Amino acid sequence: MEKRQYKRKSIDVPVVYESPAMPYRGRGRNLSAGGILIDTGYPVAPGVEVSVSFDLSGRSVHAGGKVIRLGYDSLCVEFLPHEKTALADLVNRLE
């Protein structure tokens, strides 16, 4: 059984993620201090660094990360190490 390092929370928020090529839009579906799952029809190749922006609980969140996995209509972004500490506090406050 896989044990995750960070607890995930379900979310449903608009997300903008930008690769070096251009910005894309999607919907954030789950969030942890380690990363975010984004539903989108615009995949970015694994390994590409992206910046992710969204509003959650009255806060604007901007974080850098790297695409680590693609799904059928989704992608998973792992946040950069220095972003994880700040995001852990936000995620822990979500109900």
| d(C-alpha 30, C-alpha 87), whole Å | 13
pLDDT higher at 6 or 34: 34
Q: Which of 29-33, 61-65, 82-86 has the lowest mean pLDDT?
A: 82-86
CA 47 from centroid of its chain's CA atoms:
14
**Which of the 8 DSSP states describes residue 42?**
-
- In the CATH scheme, what is the homologous superfamily, with its name and number, of domain 9-90? predicted glycosyltransferase like domains (2.40.10.220)
Tens digit of each residue's pLDDT (9 = 90 or more) over 18-32: 988 889 999 999 999
Q: What is the pLDDT of residue 35?
A: 95
Give the chain's length: 95
Rounded to a whole number of angstroms, the CA Rg of the chain reads 12
Domain boundaries, the chain: 9-90
Residue 95 confidence (pLDDT)? 62
